[in-house]
Amino acid sequence: MADGGTLSLPAPAHGAYIVYVDESGDHGLAHMDPDYPLFVLAFCVFNKRTLADQIVPKVLRFKFEHFGHDQVILHEHDIRKSKGPFRILLNAGRREAFHRDLNALIVEAAFTIVAVVIRKAALTHRYAAPANPYVLAMEYGLERVCALLHEKGQAGRLTHFIFESRGAKEDAELELEFRRVSAPSRATCRGLPVDLRFADKKTISTGLQLADLVARPIGLHVLRPGQANRAFDLLEPKLRRGPRGQVAGWGLKVFP
């Protein structure tokens, strides 16, 4: 019993899934990058047992093969720019082997993606007082991820969402919105207890590293759908599907 003789409710059982979330682009509306006027929030849903038993060991072996140690954080921006430990990619032979093995790793890794793309220019054109793109993306994403978790029989079981920390102020604002959107009184995640955790940018988390590789290729696909996009081609089969195999509105929400 809790203080005052009130019965305390037992904590919900841990769910079978964990969700890692990463972003691409700036969620501000005051200034827009003309080359990338989007904000993307990607939710990557992993079965915990699959992550621990299959995916993590493969990522570990990948790092040992290409770097000799496991302290490298796979970061899409640094890989694309050949920065930091990824300066090895300036060598054509090592770059080819790295991308070949990384592509194979992503293809083999079993996880489901729910991505939300906010087209910022269209948002400001359509609405006189547009909502914050981050808040919009979180609400649309949580709605779809929670529906997926219900489909997987996770009602009543606690699911953790892991976000990369962006600073004390930003984290506090994000947590407030997350709690608001996922509150039991709202339909978004009704019957599905969820919790939010932040990870430091230097945390070596396999789930977060894979989520980091997801968001930008999806954003580029929405921005320039006719352009060749090998990374998106690898990720597309992982997008959540509807009952007839449709992706739009299910695994990929573009707004407006």
Consecutive sets of 10 residues in the chain, 256 residues long: mean pLDDT of each? 55 94 92 93 98 98 98 96 97 98 98 98 94 93 97 96 92 92 88 94 93 97 96 98 97 98
In a domain, 202, yes or no: yes
In a domain, 86, yes or no: no
pLDDT of residue 184: 85
Q: Which domain holds residue 127?
A: 14-55+112-255
Nearest to 105 by CA among 40, 169, 60: 60
In a domain, 220, yes or no: yes
Chain centroid offset of residue 68 CA: 27
The number of distinct structural domains making up the chain is 1
In a domain, 239, yes or no: yes
pLDDT of residue 7: 58
pLDDT of residue 1: 43
In a domain, 72, yes or no: no
> Hey, what amino acid is at 189?
C
In a domain, 106, yes or no: no
Q: What is the CATH classification number for the domain harbouring 19? A: 3.30.420.10
In a domain, 60, yes or no: no
pLDDT of residue 8: 62
